[in-house]
Amino acid sequence: MVDAMERPAARKGEVIFALATGTGRAAIAIMRASGAGAQEVLASLCGGRLPKPRHASLRALHHEGDHLDDAMVLWLPGPRSYTGEDGFELHLHAGPAVINRVAMALTTLGARPAEPGEFTRRAVQAGRLDLLQAEAIADLVEAESQSQRQQALAQADGALSRLYEGWSERLKTLLAHQEALIDFPDEDLPEAVELALSRTLNDLRSALKAHLSDKRGEIVRRGLTVVIAGAPNVGKSSLLNHLAGYDAAIVTHRAGTTRDVIAIDWLFQGVRLRLVDTAGLRETEDEIEAEGIRRAMFHVEHADLVLHVVAGMAEMPLRPDAMMVSNKVDLYPALDNTLGLSVQTGEGMEGFEQALGARIKALTAGVGAPLTRARHRAGIEEALLYLDQAHEALWPEVRGEALRLAMRALGRLTGQVDVDSLLDVIFGQFCIGK
């Protein structure tokens, strides 16, 4: 019933509400609300008796003489709230009739259903979060693996924000030195000012380039793509089935059984993987098989990690960074510089999984605050472009303008500038109750 209500355009400060828990069968449902006037709405439901701030209290909820529910109520006055506004939570019994009746009561009292991401949007507008932290909240809600959870928590805690703000502070100092050189061209400013400016500029350029080359954050957020490739009948599909724990792919003794890409999602040592089985690589005149091989090579080219499986015959790695695996060691000796195993007998599988875990850890783990989204990458690339222009500028005024534009690019990442132009795009991807 709530979703069917006509929703007016968002107006900052008005009371909004949404279900913060799922709609499936459950014991408890949490309805949250926020905005100027939330105190009056809650007081009306509770018969004028508000709970102590930030203390859960059992209340009988009534509206127009109707007993709605007996609920645990939290009164969350601003600015010490998620949105920075007055707000409250109602921990209701989760029956659809209860939820819909409470929603109707809230609407009658002047509140309206929230838009996707509107609670977090208000938190950003109130300065409780920046854009990077808000995006991390969305990632935390969507996290499926331990690595995704840990990364989102670190970003929500401000790890990436602090990195970018640190660069912005260094740019401010850099720009101050540049302005001094512009404003006092005839003064005997110490040569150290120009040297420090040049050194700091180069250090910043190096830091941004290193940040762009680190793809760990993006890999963790979307999941690691691991492609199993090799010649026909070397046991690629058998390896996929073993790792998946069920028969995801058809396995026969006939070469070329797999003709299309088979992909499954897999959680391995706390990391979300996309495990891809591909057609056997060989020369063929079969049109369908040839298309499967073309698709296999496409996935090999774009994979984060390639497991190149061989059996008895030495082959050149499909990629320099491919993990070479000798299968069927119960029939053929393992080749040099490969991991030997037999999917059929289980020999070597424990060592293989340990080696696979080490490779995945190298691709996803580490220190620092990696970027996680295409928006972050585009912003850092833009800032680096302006820093490169500043480095190459012959005129101090041109260099100063390039530095200002670089600061602006960094500021857009956290929402310090041009925030309104980004809000609709970012928060439109959120769930309703967040």
- 3-class SS of residue 408: helix
Q: Could you give the CA distance from residue 232 to residue 250 in angstroms, rounded to a whole number?
A: 13
- Residue 287 annotated as binding? no
- Residue 377 annotated as binding? no
- Residue 235 annotated as binding? yes
- Residue 13 annotated as binding? no
Phi, psi of 65 (to 5 degrees): 80, 0
DSSP 8-state class, residue 310: E
310: which strand partners? 326
- Residue 434 annotated as binding? yes
- Residue 278 annotated as binding? yes
- Residue 173 annotated as binding? no
- Residue 277 annotated as binding? yes
- Residue 198 annotated as binding? no
Q: Could you give the CA distance from residue 408 to residue 382 in angstroms, rounded to a whole number?
A: 10
- Residue 241 annotated as binding? no
Q: Could you give the CA distance from residue 136 to residue 159 in angstroms, rounded to a whole number?
A: 10
- Residue 258 annotated as binding? yes
- Residue 98 annotated as binding? no
- Residue 414 annotated as binding? no
The letter for the amino acid at 287 is E
- Residue 83 annotated as binding? no
Q: What is the DSSP string of 106-160?
A: HHHTT-EEPPTTHHHHHHHHTTSS-HHHHHHHHHHHH--SHHHHHHHHHHHTTHH
Q: Could you give the CA distance from residue 5 to residue 111 in angstroms, rounded to a whole number?
A: 12
- Residue 338 annotated as binding? no
Q: Could you give the CA distance from residue 158 to residue 369 in angstroms, rounded to a whole number?
A: 9
- Residue 280 annotated as binding? yes
- Residue 213 annotated as binding? no
- Residue 225 annotated as binding? no
Q: Could you give the CA distance from residue 51 to residue 38 in angstroms, rounded to a whole number?
A: 13
Name the residue among 326, 396, 430, 369 with its Cα closest to residue 174: 396
- Residue 257 annotated as binding? yes
> Which residues carry a binding-site annotation for Mg(2+)?
237, 258
> Which residues carry a binding-site annotation for (6S)-5-formyl-5,6,7,8-tetrahydrofolate?
32, 89, 128, 434
> Which residues carry a binding-site annotation for GTP?
233-238, 252-258, 277-280
> Which residues carry a binding-site annotation?
32, 89, 128, 233-238, 252-258, 277-280, 434
